[in-house]
Each structure stands twice: as structure tokens, then as C-alpha cells.
Structure 1
Amino acid sequence: MYAMPDLARADGLGIDLSEGGSHVGRGTRNLLAGLGDGAYLEVIGPDPDQPEPDEPRPFGIDELTEPRLVAWAVRVRDIHDVVGRAKTKGYDPGPVLPMSRRRPDGVLLEWQLTPMTAGIMPFLIDWGGTPHPTESLPPGQELVSLTGFHPTPEEVHKGLEALGEHLVVNQGPFGLLAVLRTPNGEVVLR
């Protein structure tokens, strides 16, 4: 998840992005880029065509002054089971919430996820029977690496282990770093 205070500036990223759609009621919309192997980059920001939402936009978008890599997600099947197993191992990913949005071509996408919070720990997403976003994205870009930074990496590793996931986490100030290979060369997102 790459959050921007103004999606009109997304053209300057050097990434081929496709229109995703609006998150009605949340005040956001997204642009997407397929990264191969079922992975994709979501660039999210305020939707000027929506009224101001009742609650703050996710990922601290309302306070952003510069674009920032804010979060990552893990695709799971049977999200309730994954959350239950993680809890028994000492990590609570949070409640499961339903979401939906309509693609520009009119197809309704519906999914379930745990809270979308900025951070080193991923949120979980279960697409169920809805079309996965990568099915309609053109190929051409690739995720080379995703790295986390945290003052105490061992704390992050405990949560990742409870989820059965892996991420290289180095000691340092909080943050994420992604390297993408594009037709225009490598792009680094922080």
C-alpha cells in the first residue's frame, strides 16, 4: 500500500498504473499495478469526487504531506481460521471486516480483511469468490523485494511467525521499503 496525498501525482512514480476504483464512504480511491505471481501494488489517496468521510481516511492519508509506503497485505483463504490460529499463537490481527468496491467496468468486488493499519505487520485479506484484482491488470512489473525496518525486529518476527509469514525486518527507524522492476528501470518506494 502506497499512500499519496494527491493521486494526480502518481504519474511521476514511473509505474504503469490502472484505475482501481473508489472506496465509497471512505473518501479514497486507488490505482493498481500488477507485480506478478498474484501480487499487486495499491496506490491509495483521497478521492476528490467523494464528500469528506465521517472518519479519518485509512493509513493516515489525511495527515500525509509526501507519498509513503504505509502497509502490506497477505492474501489468505478462510480468513476467520487464519485469525483464530494466529490468536492461539499469541498474535491478534484484529476483527474481520467486509468491504467492497465497484471496478470502473462495473464489476463488484467484495472481500474480507483485518483492519488496514499502517505498519510493519501485514493486514490479512480474503478475496473469497470475487475476481482477484490481478486478473484485470496488465503484466510488466515485478516486486523484487519488500523489507521492513523496526527498532525491535524480534517483536515483529513473533507476530509474523504466528501468521506463518516471512518478511526481512532490519533494525532501524520504523518503515517499509519496496523495490520494483518496471519497463522503465527499478523503482524504490519508501
Structure 2
Amino acid sequence: MAEIDHIVLGARTLEEGAAFIEQHLGVRPRKGGTHEGFGTHNMLLGLGRGTYLEIIAPDPAQPDPPHGRPFDLDDPSLKVALEAEPRLIAWVARTPLLDAVVARLGHRAGEVKEMSRADLHWRMAFPPQRQDMDNLIPALIEWKGEGASSRIPDSHVRLLQLEAEHPEAEAVRTALAERGLEEAMRVRRSPHARLIARLKRADGQEVTLSSG
């Protein structure tokens, strides 16, 4: 059993990401923290019901990590795209049975990594490159104790729908079903891969964020 944990907005800097979210969603995200050893830091926005939005950016106070930053932040094409403006880059699914899912999927699940920020601790498995279907297949997270969403004030912004577009739509559906996520997002065929999040602001206005 897995479900949406959070959506991820990439930005060149956290301030650029925060300004983008405040402009589009009408609320300022709160400070998160650093991911030591991974070269990133974040800000967070609570979306209610155990879901949140994460703004992630390279942390200038940390050296470049040897393995590359999460969510392809070091990819040259993404870095160019983020020069223009922040954008939705990935999503993460929560499961209480990460080891069981990884054992069933084998190498397709990716390597499990231990991560922490202050007193929050979690384990994540990022799908290997070229098997993440352009980040449409989520990283899997298992929180140790309470997750981040329990500590984030509710912004009263709500995630209405998560959608995926991809030339191989059926392959995306299969990969999601293997992770128990067949109901988590709407998938349709398109010539280009794209991740889309439809949200409702506290004032009722609907806003779309996407990866392109």
C-alpha cells in the first residue's frame, strides 16, 4: 500500500522557489532544513491530509555531493530550465513497507538511502535513471516515526489531482501499479513527458503546476 506523500518543486534557489509559490498559490512556504551529504535544502507547504509541497534547491553552504543531487537537480537540461523559473520536477510516494516493495521490484526500485533533517528520519528509494520515466515514477519514502507533513501548518491549499503525460503511457501505468499507486495519478499518452499537479488555493482559485 502506497500513497502520495509530497510533490517536489525544483528551483535554482530557495528564495526563487518561495516567491514562485507565493505568487501562484497565495501563501508563503515555511523554512524546512538541509539534507546533509546530499547538497540540498528545502522549504515546505502543507497541503492537508498528510500531503505537502517541497521546494528543493542546491544548498550553497554544502559541497557538491559525490553522487549527484536528488531529483536530477544536477542534470544540465534541468538546470537550464530552472534558470527560467521554478517548476514541478517530481513526486514522492509514502509506504510503510519499503523493504517489501524493494524486495519485490529488485533493481527497479533503486537503492535505499538513509536520510535525515534535524530530528526527522526517513529512508528513500529513488528509481534508477531511465527507469523513472522522466520522474513520473516516484521515489518511495518510509518515515521513521512521524513524517514531515505532521509538523507543517496547513496552508489550506489542496492537491486536487496528480497527472502524468508520456509517450509510453501504459508502461507508466504498469510501473505505478507495481508500487500500489494505480489510483494515485491520472496517466495519458502524449508525445512529451510531463508531470502535472492541479491545486486549489485557499481562495478557491485552481492553479496548475507542471514540469514543462
Amino acid at match of 1:169: V
Shift of residue 123 of structure 1? 1.2
Q: Could you say which residue in structure 2 is the equivalent of 1:179?
A: 198
Q: Could you say which residue in structure 2 is the equivalent of 1:189?
A: 209
Q: Could you say which residue in structure 2 is the equivalent of 1:133?
A: 148
Q: Which runs of 5+ in 2 are unaligned?
A: 1-7
Runs of 4 or more, structure 1, over 6 Å off, are none
TM-score, normalised by the number of residues in structure 2: 0.78
Q: Could you say which residue in structure 1 is the equivalent of 2:120?
A: 109
Shift of residue 79 of structure 1? 0.7
- 1:1-190 paired onto structure 2 within 5 Å: 1-9=8-16, 10-14=18-22, 15=25, 16-62=28-74, 63=76, 64-65=79-80, 66=82, 67-87=86-106, 92-102=108-118, 108-115=119-126, 119-129=135-145, 131-139=146-154, 140-166=156-182, 167-172=185-190, 173-183=192-202, 185-190=205-210
Amino acid at match of 1:50: Q
**Which stretch has the larger CA shift, 40-49 or 57-66?**
57-66
Secondary structure of 1:49's counterpart equals: coil
Q: Does the aligned pair in 2 maintain the 1:77–1:128 contact within 8 Å?
A: no
Secondary structure of 1:127's counterpart equals: strand
Measured against aligned partners, the alpha-carbon deviations of 1:58-106 in whole angstroms (never above 9, x if no partner) come to 223233232221111110002101222345xxx821222211111xxxx
Distance (Å, rounded) in 1 between the aligned partners of 2:70 and 2:110: 15
**Which stretch has the larger CA shift, 143-152 or 9-18?**
9-18
Q: Which runs of 5+ in 1 are unaligned?
A: 103-107
Distance (Å, rounded) in 2 between the aligned partners of 1:163 and 1:46: 29
Amino acid at match of 1:178: A
Measured against aligned partners, the alpha-carbon deviations of 1:101-141 in whole angstroms (never above 9, x if no partner) come to 11xxxxx1111110266511111100022x21111111111
Distance (Å, rounded) in 2 between the aligned partners of 1:20 and 1:49: 15
Secondary structure of 1:161's counterpart equals: helix
Distance (Å, rounded) in 2 between the aligned partners of 1:76 and 1:12: 30
Number of residue-to-residue matches in the alignment: 181
Q: Does the aligned pair in 1 maintain the 2:21–2:29 contact within 8 Å?
A: no
Shift of residue 22 of structure 1? 0.4
